[in-house]
Amino acid sequence: MSAKQLSGAGAEAQEAGLPAPERPLKQWYGELAGVAATALALGVGELVAAATGGPSAPLVAVGGVAVDAAPTPVKEFAVTVFYTYDKLALQAGIVLVLAVFAAIIGVMAMRRLGYGLAGVAVFGTIGVLASATRSSATWAYPLPSVAGALAAAGLLALLRRTLPRRAVVSARDLSDETGPDGGGAAQEVPAPVQGVRLPSSDTGVPVVDGVGQPPGRRRFLVLAYGAIGAAAVAVPGGRRLWAQRVAAARAAVVLPSPSSPAPLLPAKVSAGVPGVTKFVTANADFYRIDTALTVPQMEPKDWRLRIHGRVKRPLTLTYEQLLARPMVERYITLSCVSNEVGGELVGNARWLGVSIKDLLDEVEPDDGADQVVSRSVDGYTAGTPTAALRDGRDALLAVGMNGEPLPVEHGFPVRMVVPGLYGYVSATKWLTELELSSFSDFSAYWVRRDYAALAPVKTQSRIDTPTAGKRLERGPAMVAGVAWAQHHGVSAVEVRVDDGPWQQAMLAAVPSVDTWRQWSWPWQATPGKHRLQVRAIDHTGQVQTGQAHKPLPDGATGWHTIKVTVT
Ligand SMILES: Nc1nc2c(c(=O)[nH]1)N[C@H]1C(S)=C(S)[C@@H](COP(=O)(O)O)O[C@H]1N2
Ligand SMILES: [Mo]
């Protein structure tokens, strides 16, 4: 590019003593303003949420709405494929989308403050609505969104005020500033103007470096980056503060001893084969599946359970009142409908809780109320057949898991656990509400997303050892794993090699029909590549089906099959 091209029409205009065409403010000022204002809103929102009550922070509330609005395949992918890391991925995605909208709002605000403020108001309203529709919403819930929106509006107005309405700054404007006589000659402008002349990429009008920047630039940048920096501290800081409060409250919980303790574990619950999943899954190893972007953090003192809907005597319980009721302790295996054949979304724990059947008997459900809709503090819903909760199985409002208060990720302070039903229709965490309803009146969260309304756990079995693809030495080897036929119990497990006959495995002991069962089978491994398969038979005589099916809509089926090489 030649020097001639570098100076352009503006320079000629300048030379001719004409005003250079006004160049609008560079767009990135607006983008930065919008991002800074939004960051500030999130930071303020997070701090106000930490001070007034956990799950109402705008990012979480709006994020929750976004998650709820996402199409099933996207969510399925996110929730099940990266089930542990999806939260981070989703939050990053939301922040990215938010940044784009924030930039648009900022650009609008720099053109006309009213437009920008309208954009902020839309965001604020989404935040208020999102938090107010959380099932545990109190008067305090909209506060973080309102405070965040006010802060954003204030910052936008301030940022806009630091900049002139049009940042550039024609040669004529500049020369006008040089003296009251308004001589207008380019040579009279102050020194910085006589810097290098650069073409402006968007308009082709030359910009005078240095003075070509809007005069309030420094203050603008300090404010904008300052707000972003403050938000970068406030968002995690606010969350940590609140989480620490909840962790302290959890540590202070003293679980009552059960009036109906769990059966003593028979010594032989273990098949005694190395490599088999432990009978009791440690809390830290228990799979986690939920739609929550950030783990809902509820203090027991704020917790309430409303039992209402189609009942004769609605009931509200505090945590203290719940703990005062008779406690039942049971080993119950929980599994996720998204568990693939051979998958790991299944675990077994010793739960402590209150009988749901007893509570339902007290509220007296109406005859047609065939569905109990459970709601979590973050708006998740599950629908459980009323009959399943009242048929005498150990359906629990659990407060304890393996001798500890529920871990926060597993539903602290209170969750449901129902033997024999997949988690998505029964195991609501961070529970706040039980509403007696009917299947014809209400479809719960995953049912609206194409999963089945009724979802008993399908009989499954898994080979834990040897692992798939393993190389073994010829001779005796132990094939072993776990099998579950929830609420019916496993009566037999069979193994076959290649297409040989099904052979009886040995079964370990179990405390009840509601847990998985370890099995083992001694194999005389012969050289070559082999295929191992397993299937379980339940106490009703039903043989686990070999028909392969994916998890949607009501649980995967098929025989777990692995290949090994024997040398
Ligand atoms: N509040 C809430 N509870 C929930 C879910 C959820 O998304 N939100 N997911 C359910 C599903 S699909 C399963 S499989 C179990 C998993 O419980 P866990 O994370 O303790 O293993 O929780 C259930 N309870
Ligand atoms: Mo699940």
* Helices and strands in the chain, H and E counts: 13, 21
Return the pLDDT at 171. 41
Pairwise CA distance, residues 442 & 206, whole Å: 64
Contact between 383 and 443 (Cβ < 8 Å): yes
**Ligand 1 center to residue 252 CA distance, Å?**
25
- Asked, for residue 561, whether it belongs to a domain, the answer is yes
**Ligand 1 center to residue 60 CA distance, Å?**
18
**Ligand 2 center to residue 290 CA distance, Å?**
7
Same domain assignment for residues 308 and 435? yes
**Ligand 1 center to residue 430 CA distance, Å?**
9
Q: Of ligand 1's atoms, which has the minimum distance to the CA of residue 347?
A: 21
Which of 525, 545, 535 is closest to 466 using CA atoms?
Answer: 525
Which tokens go with 422? Answer: 């997949």
Of the ligands numbered here, which is closest to the C-alpha atom of 431?
Answer: 1
Q: Are strands 346-355 and 371-376 parallel, antiparallel or unpaired?
A: unpaired
Using CA atoms, how far residue 41 sits from 102, 144, 500, in Å, is 11, 9, 66
Residue 423, pLDDT > 90, answer: yes
Site to probe by mutation for ligand 1, drawn from 79, 286, 290, 445 as the one with most ligand atoms within 8 Å of Cβ, is: 290
Which tokens go with 173? Answer: 């404007």
pLDDT mean over 132-138: 64
Pairwise CA distance, residues 224 & 462, whole Å: 56
Each residue of 367-422: pLDDT tens digit?
999 999 999 987 889 999 999 999 999 999 999 999 999 999 999 999 999 999 99
Contact between 488 and 393 (Cβ < 8 Å): no
Pairwise CA distance, residues 6 & 221, whole Å: 28
Same domain assignment for residues 479 and 342? no
Q: What are phi and psi of 386, to 5 degrees?
A: -55, -40
Cβ burial of 116 (10 Å; 0-12, 13-18, 19+) is buried
pLDDT band, very low/low/confident/very high, at 124 (cuts 50, 70, 90):
confident
Which tokens go with 332? Answer: 């119950």
Total residue count of the chain as it appears in this document: 567
Same domain assignment for residues 433 and 512? no
Q: Is 331 in the pocket of ligand 1 (CB under 6 A)?
A: no
Highest mean pLDDT among 48-52, 289-293, 505-509: 505-509
Same domain assignment for residues 57 and 91? yes
- Whichever domain contains 440, its CATH number is 3.90.420.10
Q: Is 289 in the pocket of ligand 1 (CB under 6 A)?
A: yes
Q: Of ligand 1's atoms, which has the minimum distance to the CA of residue 291?
A: 7
Pairwise CA distance, residues 372 & 453, whole Å: 12
Same domain assignment for residues 506 and 417? no
**Ligand 1 center to residue 383 CA distance, Å?**
13
Same domain assignment for residues 437 and 513? no
Residue 312, pLDDT > 50, answer: yes
Same domain assignment for residues 359 and 498? no
Each residue of 340-356: pLDDT tens digit?
999 999 999 999 999 99
Q: Of ligand 1's atoms, which has the minimum distance to the CA of residue 446?
A: 12
Same domain assignment for residues 403 and 492? no
> Domain span at residue 514?
460-566
Same domain assignment for residues 356 and 483? no
Answer with the one of 215, 237, 259 that is the final residue of a domain. Answer: 237
Pairwise CA distance, residues 116 & 105, whole Å: 5
**Ligand 1 center to residue 80 CA distance, Å?**
11
Which tokens go with 345? Answer: 């979304």
Site to probe by mutation for ligand 1, drawn from 289, 303, 345, 450 as the one with most ligand atoms within 8 Å of Cβ, is: 289
Cβ burial of 357 (10 Å; 0-12, 13-18, 19+) is middle
Same domain assignment for residues 290 and 418? yes
Pairwise CA distance, residues 121 & 149, whole Å: 7
Which of 260, 284, 274 is closest to 402 using CA atoms?
Answer: 284
Highest mean pLDDT among 2-16, 33-47, 396-410: 396-410
Give the residue, by CA position, lying nearest to ligand 1 atom 4.
428
pTM of the complete model: 0.80
Pairwise CA distance, residues 335 & 183, whole Å: 83
Return the pLDDT at 56. 58
Of the ligands numbered here, which is closest to the C-alpha atom of 418?
Answer: 1
pLDDT band, very low/low/confident/very high, at 66 (cuts 50, 70, 90):
low
Each residue of 466-493: pLDDT tens digit?
999 999 999 999 999 999 999 999 999 9
Give the residue, by CA position, lying nearest to ligand 1 atom 20.
410
Of the ligands numbered here, which is closest to the C-alpha atom of 334?
Answer: 1
Each residue of 147-174: pLDDT tens digit?
999 999 999 999 998 876 554 344 444 4
Residue with tokens 């965490």: 429
With a CB cutoff of 8 Å and minimum separation 6, the contacts of 411 are: 398, 428, 429, 430, 431
Distance of CA 528 to the CA centre of its chain: 46
Domain count, the chain: 3
- Whichever domain contains 518, its CATH number is 2.60.40.650
Same domain assignment for residues 363 and 482? no
pLDDT band, very low/low/confident/very high, at 128 (cuts 50, 70, 90):
confident
- Asked, for residue 265, whether it belongs to a domain, the answer is no
Instruction: Write the secondary structure of 439-495 as one string of H (helix), E (strand) and C (coil).
Output: CCCCCCCCCCCCCCCCCECCCEEEEEECCCCCEECCEEEEEEEEEECCCCCEEEEEE
**Ligand 1 center to residue 555 CA distance, Å?**
15
Among 64-68, 200-204, 537-541, the range scoring the smallest mean pLDDT is 200-204
**Ligand 1 center to residue 75 CA distance, Å?**
14
Give the residue, by CA position, lying nearest to ligand 1 atom 16.
289
Of the ligands numbered here, which is closest to the C-alpha atom of 86?
Answer: 1
Give the residue, by CA position, lying nearest to ligand 1 atom 18.
288
Of the ligands numbered here, which is closest to the C-alpha atom of 289?
Answer: 1
Q: Are strands 503-504 and 490-497 parallel, antiparallel or unpaired?
A: antiparallel
- Asked, for residue 502, whether it belongs to a domain, the answer is yes
Cβ burial of 540 (10 Å; 0-12, 13-18, 19+) is exposed
